[in-house]
Structure 1
Amino acid sequence: MNDKRFDPARIAKLDNPERRKNLPPEQLLDLLGLTGSEDILDVGAGGGYFTFPAAARTSGTVYALDAQSQMLEYLKSRMEEQKSGHIEMIQGEAEQIPMEDAKMDAVICSMVLHEVDPPEQGLREIQRVLKKGGRALCIEWERLETESGPPQNHRISSAEMVETLENMGFRVLSRQAWTEAFYSVVFEK
């Protein structure tokens, strides 16, 4: 396992009241401007923090991608509990998304790119699978010292993220701080 990858044994940390207060999935999804019929890819879906709210907003398919089989097993058990339809699970890496080109209307990538080495490889894959005009929502750790989260040297500052996206040809639509530690960027292909 990549030493930057989240430990599946700590999955409860991914969905708790404090995280929901700091990173409200519904408000974050509002930033994508979904119209209700999009096919959406959730990169690093984990336990479905964004997968389930996204599925409630679209009649299209939500693809839940995670590199770790334990995360997908957990997600599968939650899907059965919630009787969620139109969600497909895919095991794969953000660095090499097992999906054809220009398939997605929208991509969600929450707390994943700091685990990708180099992060640009994950962004190139998002660019590849997005349709022209497709939008992506990226949530990451700001590059500063905090009590929890990845080491500072794994983090990507919001300014660095915006510069990288623009250099890759994306159009940055918004950048927003949610707390001192977390930010979101919405961008378009």
Structure 2
Amino acid sequence: MNHMHHYNQLDQIFKNKIAFLESKQRERLIPPEALISQMPIQQNHTLLDVGAGSGFFTIPMAESTSSKVYAMDPDRRMLSFIEEKAKEKGLTNIELVPEYIENLSINNDSVDFAMASLILHEVSSLTKALSNIFEVLEIEGHLLCLEYEKDDLIVEGPPMSIRIGSKDLEKALTSTGFTIVKKTKINDAIYTILAVKKGE
């Protein structure tokens, strides 16, 4: 009997997580469509959503291209949630990738645009994660990183100790081989860095 109870509890935690990820507050924070429309995404681009979660960005990304969108998340339940959402919207161009960014198995030089939204502070190795994204991007492919600023005045968001400040992320991106295109402060807590993989 106890075993079942444990499952229900886990289920509730998952539902709460989805509820948070989907909440209106998050939409107010970063309207995904607005952000994506400012990106160098073309109708035939192959896209990658790193740490796709509940598909907050995956769905609008899939609506902005006729090509494939990889939704990458190690949590298969999150991916089946994305699958449901895609079905509801009649989207057939999303490919689910149940992996951690550190073991990304997508072909090299096959992605035009990658999005890493509030995920890089959770990876076990930032260097490895960024190198893997760099590898799968085509020449002139872009990566958009969205993270919490490391600033003691900002309480909301993940613990300070695991945050990646924009200066540190910029350094990490540059040493991976990326060229920084632009940095934007979305609000007090969140910034984005757009980087590109330049040809030799």
* TM-score normalized by the length of structure 1: 0.91
Equivalent position of 1:162 in the other structure? 170
Higher helix share: 2
| Amino acid across the alignment from 1:137 | L
Which deviations, in whole Å up to 9, do the C-alpha atoms of 1:125-152 show, x marking residues without a partner?
Answer: 1001001110011101111344432111
- 2:34 counterpart of 1:61: no
CA shift, 1:12, in A, is 1.5
Which deviations, in whole Å up to 9, do the C-alpha atoms of 1:22-55 show, x marking residues without a partner?
Answer: 2121222133211211000111111111111111
CA shift, 1:165, in A, is 1.0
Worse-matched range after superposition: 140-149 or 176-185: 140-149
Equivalent position of 2:10 in the other structure? none
> How far apart, CA to CA, are the structure 1 residues paired with 2:166 and 2:38?
16
Equivalent position of 1:143 in the other structure? 150
Aligned length: 183
Worse-matched range after superposition: 75-84 or 36-45: 75-84
Which of 102, 105, 127 pairs up with 2:109? Answer: 102
Paired residue secondary structure (2:41): coil
Paired residue secondary structure (1:95): helix
- 2:56 counterpart of 1:49: yes
> How far apart, CA to CA, are the structure 2 residues paired with 1:28 and 1:156?
21
| Amino acid across the alignment from 1:72 | L
Equivalent position of 1:3 in the other structure? none
- 2:188 counterpart of 1:180: yes
> How far apart, CA to CA, are the structure 2 residues paired with 1:28 and 1:147?
24
Paired residue secondary structure (1:26): helix
Paired residue secondary structure (1:144): coil
Is the Cα–Cα contact under 8 Å of residues 31 and 186 in structure 1 kept in the other structure? no
Coordinate RMSD, CA, aligned:
1.4
- 2:86 counterpart of 1:79: yes
Is the Cα–Cα contact under 8 Å of residues 110 and 140 in structure 1 kept in the other structure? yes
> How far apart, CA to CA, are the structure 1 residues paired with 2:104 and 2:14?
20
Q: Which has the larger radius of gyration?
A: 2
Where in structure 2 are there 5+ consecutive unaligned residues? 1-12
| Amino acid across the alignment from 2:101 | A
| Amino acid across the alignment from 1:160 | D
Worse-matched range after superposition: 37-46 or 81-90: 81-90
Paired residue secondary structure (2:139): strand
> How far apart, CA to CA, are the structure 2 residues paired with 1:156 and 1:13?
22
Where in structure 1 are there 5+ consecutive unaligned residues? 1-6
